[in-house]
Amino acid sequence: MSKTAELYRMVMGKHICPYGLKSKYLLEKHGYTITDNHLTTRAETDAFKAKHEVKTTPQTFIEGKRIGGHEDLRAYFGASEPKTTYKPIIAIFSVAFFMSLAIAWQVEEHILTWNIIGWFIAASMCFLGVQKLQNLEKFSTMFLNYDVLAQRKVGYSYFYPFAETFAGIAMLAGVLTWVAAPVALFISSIGAYSVFKAVYIDKRELKCACVGGDSNVPLGFISLTENIMMFGMALWVLAI
């Protein structure tokens, strides 16, 4: 038997609801034949919401039963967003690693070089810094949950993303390393201690601000590794 669903979504001259498109995609992905109802005016949308006593669109009905909006539909298909995830950090580290391979190929015409490790860490620092800089306020708020220096000096929570990004760029370029390396040593040592204290001594369950203030990455081993990598990179730069 064919599976059928009714979808009501906003499709107006100057606005097409992205969640409506996502709901349509989900239904098609799961093999549903869709009756796709377009709400083409604000008045039509408001009348639909009043009739079905809902606050948002899109709305999906399967076999006459209202499932709800896009997130409700995702949950119906068993694809609800987990409370914590390592996906953002995996994406950043993966892209940084492949970038370091690309740099090695261009600069040294092969990828079998120890420089890859340094380029990987420096690129990761840049990516992580950019994630934090997207919304300094949200990053600062999350960072203050566990960083011991930021809790004493709130301004440090605003300084940290700039310091991390600067250190990453400088070490990647091989310039101003006499400034960048000590900066990286300082922020990474404070960061490593803060994470270790929060997770392994105080036994707190927190989200990590490493990829910005909207992160669902749990504070723990990955966060500690980020700081250890930065610390190691700074020592290596000072040594060469």
Q: Are residues 15 and 72 in the same domain?
A: yes
Q: Are residues 25 and 116 in the same domain?
A: no
Instruction: Assign 58 to helix, strand or coil.
Output: coil
Report how far residue 193's alpha carbon sits from residue 188's, in angstroms, rounded to the nearest whole number.
8
Instruction: Assign 133 to helix, strand or coil.
Output: helix
DSSP β-ladder status, 3-10 and 65-68: unpaired
Report how far residue 77's alpha carbon sits from residue 54's, in angstroms, rounded to the nearest whole number.
21
Instruction: Please give the model's pTM, rounded to 2 decimal places.
Output: 0.76
Q: Residue 56 contacts by C-beta under 8 Å, 6 or more apart in sequence?
A: 49, 69
Q: Are residues 191 and 115 in the same domain?
A: yes
Q: If the chain, 240 residues long, is cut into consecutive pieces of 10 residues, what is the mean pLDDT of each piece?
A: 88 91 93 94 93 93 92 86 76 92 83 82 92 92 92 94 94 88 94 93 88 80 86 83
Instruction: Tell the residue number behind the tokens 């000096």, with chain if given.
Output: 153
Q: Are residues 178 and 123 in the same domain?
A: yes
On whether residue 131 sits in a domain, the answer given is: yes
Count CB neighbours of 113 within 10 A: 16
Q: Are residues 54 and 131 in the same domain?
A: no
On whether residue 7 sits in a domain, the answer given is: yes
Q: Are residues 142 and 25 in the same domain?
A: no
130: nearest Cα among 142, 139, 119 = 139
Give me the pLDDT at residue 209, please.
Answer: 86
Among the three residues 23, 48, 76, which one is the final residue of a domain in this structure?
76
- Alpha carbon of 27 to those of 20, 31, 38, 126: distances in Å? 11, 6, 16, 38
Give me the pLDDT at residue 10, please.
Answer: 94
How many folded domains does the chain comprise? 2
Give me the pLDDT at residue 220, please.
Answer: 82
Q: Are residues 32 and 134 in the same domain?
A: no
On whether residue 159 sits in a domain, the answer given is: yes
Q: Are residues 93 and 40 in the same domain?
A: no
Among the three residues 55, 76, 97, which one is the final residue of a domain in this structure?
76
Q: Are residues 67 and 93 in the same domain?
A: no
On whether residue 81 sits in a domain, the answer given is: no
Q: Are residues 62 and 93 in the same domain?
A: no
The phi and psi torsions of 17 (rounded to 5 degrees) equal -65, 120
Q: Which residue range is the domain that position 19 belongs to?
A: 3-76
Q: For the chain, how big is the Rg over CA atoms in Å?
A: 24
Give me the pLDDT at residue 22, please.
Answer: 94
Instruction: Calculate helix-pair angle for 87-108, 115-133, nearest 10 degrees.
Output: 140
